[in-house]
Structure 1
């Protein structure tokens, strides 16, 4: 297994997923693809932050860049060296599946729950859908 993708939204669950993915990538001398997806919730958060900061697009880009850079630093601290960053847009599950298919990903690592509104569920909707629909192995990190 040489190409591992991890999805992050900056949550503590996503941080744990980044940790696991980085350890796997390091152990296998594999490539780590760190992905965040800007969906309608992220767009709403960006609109609230706009005030005097600039356009919604600028704020959304800054948010996604910060999320990815934080995850990249975390992965590098754990020894992952071959790291790529990517932003997806739209439906989170669909975007992750499309990126996995297009990037020859052999494993997707996700947190059990992210920032979703139904945080009380044992398995979040994105991770649950990925387990059912992904074209590769999926590791769900508690």
Structure 2
């Protein structure tokens, strides 16, 4: 199976990456693997979720579920039907590299900046790290 993997964290940059990945998958007749990596919730994201008294891990799982559901819906709007979604847990860069390797992804599509913009400036962006470590081609969407 030839596939394109796209990472999403629900940010505007990730939404643009979904659009580009869907266009590429359609043009190249590829399957699309949409992945989000659960690492932490930011305060803004916690406020978007219903207040149910749930644990932080339950909130994180709910947020990642919402993120994947929206990304899959967008890819379907753009005409794709062969879509798989996955949530990974842990370090974002390492999870993306490991998943690209185990799924034999032909391409990874990522947004240039995600929801952790300050951390990206201080520690180096996920997109930069993925470009450096990926086992396949990487498209970085501005």
TM-score relative to the length of structure 1: 0.87
Equivalent in the alignment of 1:108: 108
Distance in 2 of aligned mates of 1:118 and 1:95:
21
Unaligned runs of 5+ in 1: none
Equivalent in the alignment of 2:62: 62
Distance in 2 of aligned mates of 1:120 and 1:112:
10
* Equivalent pairs, count: 139
Distance in 1 of aligned mates of 2:120 and 2:57:
31
Unaligned runs of 5+ in 2: none
Could you list the runs of 4 or more consecutive aligned residues of structure 1 that deviate by over 4 angstroms after TM superposition? 43-46
Distance in 1 of aligned mates of 2:120 and 2:42:
23
**RMSD (Å), alpha carbons:** 2.5
Q: How does 1:1-142 map to 2 (within 5 A)?
A: 2-39=2-39, 41-42=40-41, 52-118=52-118, 125-142=125-142
TM-score relative to the length of structure 2: 0.87
